């Protein structure tokens, strides 16, 4: 018998906490509260990725649409959240169908309800799914001219091996008439990067700590948020920001009984200063990302960047069609 998604999530969280270097996947940031906190992060002065990407799209949208060249496409928005980024593409790309995919199904449904009022003539569909694990698109999603939209440099949350696997799975959902429009954060100075992930208002800290509240809900753990503090730093050799939660004092975390593994009786002790790794955010050079795309069956068709070369928006096509 296959396990439910809830059981798989519980198992994944508890197994990660039992690793020698404890971890919780960043996908568990995004319950309804976490999704709203991330929206607040994007408004911060220090958090440049969202507004830089938005400026690139606004400035280059006619050229993006021309390069894509397939009105009437199926626009599939990965990690759709509030759907605002994708909605800015509708007029230029003229999709026939918009498919919003997000792990936070409740938040996604609310977002799509609002979006339908603004675009009543566009066919829309919500898909609540953890596409980092697998992406099973319903039969109602049109197969012709699919364009995956994956903004925000969310691909940076994955290791290079994981990113290659995800991109290859996306390629498997596309015909030769398909494509991928993806945002990536580019390598830059440490000061700018660290400020973006550790803001003085503490919004990013609240977002990071909320993953423990979500773990309590999903996995039955008993984290006390007051026992933990937010840590973020740039790992320059690996070109990535790391976010962690650090124990303020020695603490033992237990989990209530549940189905599946690990069994009832789960317990993990943390020493003061010990950390739980919650996120990587990899930063790329354009040539390196082109190579990553190629290894997953894509060819980079065009890349657009901002004047400071802080961020890039890339259109890629299946290599057989490029």
Q: Where are the domains of the chain?
A: 1-246+275-322
pLDDT, residue 117, reads 95
Return the axis-axis angle of helices 203-219 and 5-18, rounded to nearest 10°. 110
192 Cβ contact list (under 8 Å, min separation 6): 48, 310
Confidence tier at 132 by pLDDT (50, 70, 90): confident
pLDDT digits (tens, 9 = 90+) for 274-310: 999 999 999 999 999 999 999 999 999 999 999 999 9
When pLDDT is averaged across residues 227-254 and rounded to a whole number, the result is 97
pLDDT, residue 73, reads 97
CATH no., domain 1-246+275-322: 3.40.50.150
Q: Over 80: is that where the pLDDT of 315 sits?
A: yes
pLDDT, residue 258, reads 63
DSSP H helices, the chain, are 5-18, 32-41, 48-68, 84-87, 90-93, 105-118, 160-172, 190-196, 203-219, 286-295
60 Cβ contact list (under 8 Å, min separation 6): 304, 313
Residue in the structure block whose two tokens are 């993953």? 211
Q: Over 90: is that where the pLDDT of 249 sits?
A: yes
pLDDT, residue 1, reads 40
Q: Over 90: is that where the pLDDT of 4 sits?
A: no
Opening angle at CA 85, ends 82 and 89, nearest 5: 130
Average pLDDT, the chain: 93
Q: What is the CA radius of gyration of the chain?
A: 20
């Amino acid at each position: 018998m296959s396990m439910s998604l809830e059981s798989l999530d519980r198992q994944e969280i508890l197994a990660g906490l039992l690793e020698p270097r404890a971890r919780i996947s960043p996908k568990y940031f995004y319950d309804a509260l976490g999704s709203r906190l991330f929206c607040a992060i994007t408004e911060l002065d220090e958090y440049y990725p969202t507004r830089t990407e938005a400026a690139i799209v606004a400035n280059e949208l006619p050229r993006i649409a021309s390069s894509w060249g397939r009105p009437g496409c199926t626009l599939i928005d990965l990690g759709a959240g509030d759907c605002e980024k994708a909605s800015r593409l509708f007029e230029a790309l003229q999709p026939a169908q918009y498919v919003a995919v997000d792990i936070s199904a409740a938040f996604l449904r609310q977002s799509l309800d609002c979006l339908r009022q603004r675009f009543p003539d566009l066919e829309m569909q919500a898909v609540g799914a953890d596409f980092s694990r697998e992406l099973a698109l319903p039969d109602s999603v049109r197969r012709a001219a699919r364009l995956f939209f994956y903004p925000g440099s969310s691909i940076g949350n994955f290791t290079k091996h994981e990113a290659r696997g995800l991109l290859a799975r996306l390629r498997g959902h596309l015909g030769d008439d398909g494509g991928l429009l993806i945002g990536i954060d580019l390598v830059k100075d440490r000061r700018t990067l660290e400020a973006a992930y550790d803001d003085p208002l503490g919004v990013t800290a609240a977002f990071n700590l909320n993953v423990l509240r979500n773990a309590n809900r999903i996995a039955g753990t008993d984290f006390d948020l007051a026992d933990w503090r937010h840590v973020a730093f740039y790992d320059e050799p690996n070109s990535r920001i790391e976010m962690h939660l650090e124990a303020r004092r020695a603490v033992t975390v237990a989990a209530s009984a549940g189905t599946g593994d690990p069994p009832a009786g789960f317990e993990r002790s943390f020493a003061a200063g010990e950390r739980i790794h919650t996120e990587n955010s990899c930063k790329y050079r354009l040539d390196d990302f082109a190579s990553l795309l190629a290894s997953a069956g894509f060819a980079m068709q065009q890349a657009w960047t901002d004047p400071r070369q802080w961020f890039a928006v890339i259109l890629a096509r299946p290599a057989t069609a490029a």
